[in-house]
Structure 1
Amino acid sequence: MHLTHRPVQPSDIPVICTFPQSPDELFYMFPKATHPLTPAQLTDAIAQRSGSTVVEGNGAIMAFANFYKAEHGGVCALGNVVVAPSARGHGVARYLVTAMIGLARQQYAAREVWVSCFNHNTAGLLLYPQLGFVPFGIEERQAWDGTRVALVQMKQLM
């Protein structure tokens, strides 16, 4: 599968909103959002963030991410990471995160890229260390249903 990436366009937003398949998946992607994800919620997040990017493959939008923090010469923090259900398990997340690391380096001259991953997000917890991320902190958070969860914070030094 040939993958490419580009900046998000308004027409991509309704498609991305279909990616989180459950309240849990939406929580992993966008903890402040309420399920189901609406174009208004995602548009607001994009407006407050930087580097919103989609991955395309086979003529379809397959993944999305952005930076909730982007300091030139400092830290870029990856957020809103989500992969289309049909594209999971095919290397799309790896491609997306690698593309976002490249964007952090090229556009922001970042010294570090951070990512946070909830303890139930097994796919993320297994992927990020393969891409050079190392844990540096754990915070207690509350999930959408009120249960206690751990947010594992990781960083990749440039």
Structure 2
Amino acid sequence: MSLNHRPVNTADIPVICTFPQSEDESLFFFPKATFPLHPTQLQAAIAQRADATVVERRGEVVAFANFYRWKAGGSCAIGNVIVAPTARGCGIGRYLVEKMIGLAFAKHQAAEVTVSCFNHNTAGLLLYPKLGFQPYALEERQSKHGKRLALVHMRLPRPAASNVTF
């Protein structure tokens, strides 16, 4: 599978907005947005975030993520992680998160990378620990319909070896 990643561009935004297929998927991807996601919502989020990144497979945009918090020498928080429905289950999410981890450690010299995942996002809950993330906090949230949710916060400390790459 030939994948590459690059910064997001304006033409990618309407494509990314088609990735969430339900209110739940929209919540996992972008909790503050309304479903269906409109490009102006995503553009506004990207403008306030760093390193908005897409993954391409055979020239087609199939995944997206960014940092909603970034601090040199501190913590980088990965957010807005989503994979196109047609590309799920084949390692693209892993590839994307690994690239974001690499950006956090190399570009931002982060001491740790964090990610948060809702309790019913099974794919995320299974992926992040495989990449070394460990839970450190649980936060109660509510869905737009008032349902109680748990947001699991996970972290990955910077590897001790300085030549580790992702």
Using the alignment, how far apart are the partners of 1:73 and 1:55 within structure 2? 26
Instruction: State the Cα distance separating 1:144 from its structure 2 match.
Output: 2.2
Using the alignment, how far apart are the partners of 2:83 and 2:6 within structure 1? 15
With structure 2 as the length reference, what TM-score do the two structures score?
0.94
Q: Secondary structure at the match of 1:37?
A: coil
Using the alignment, how far apart are the partners of 1:55 and 1:72 within structure 2? 24
Q: 5+ residue gaps in structure 2?
A: 159-166
Deviations for 1:45-83, whole angstroms, at most 9, x for unmatched residues? Answer: 000000100000011001000000000111000000000
The correspondence of residues 1-158 of structure 1 with structure 2, limited to 5 A, is: 1-158=1-158
Question: After TM superposition, which residue ranges in structure 1, 4 or more long, deviate above 3 angstroms?
Answer: none
Q: Secondary structure at the match of 1:54?
A: strand
Aligned amino acid, residue 147 of structure 1: K
Aligned pairs, number = 158
Return the structure number with greater helix share: 1
Using the alignment, how far apart are the partners of 1:145 and 1:39 within structure 2? 23
Q: 5+ residue gaps in structure 1?
A: none
Deviations for 1:16-66, whole angstroms, at most 9, x for unmatched residues? Answer: 000000010000010000000010000000000001000000110010000
Instruction: State the Cα distance separating 1:106 from its structure 2 match.
Output: 1.3
Using the alignment, how far apart are the partners of 2:82 and 2:89 within structure 1? 12
Identity %: 63
Using the alignment, how far apart are the partners of 2:139 and 2:37 within structure 1? 25
Q: Secondary structure at the match of 1:63?
A: strand
Using the alignment, how far apart are the partners of 1:145 and 1:64 within structure 2? 26
Using the alignment, how far apart are the partners of 1:20 and 1:144 within structure 2? 16
Instruction: State the Cα distance separating 1:150 from its structure 2 match.
Output: 0.1
CA RMSD of the aligned region, Å? 0.5
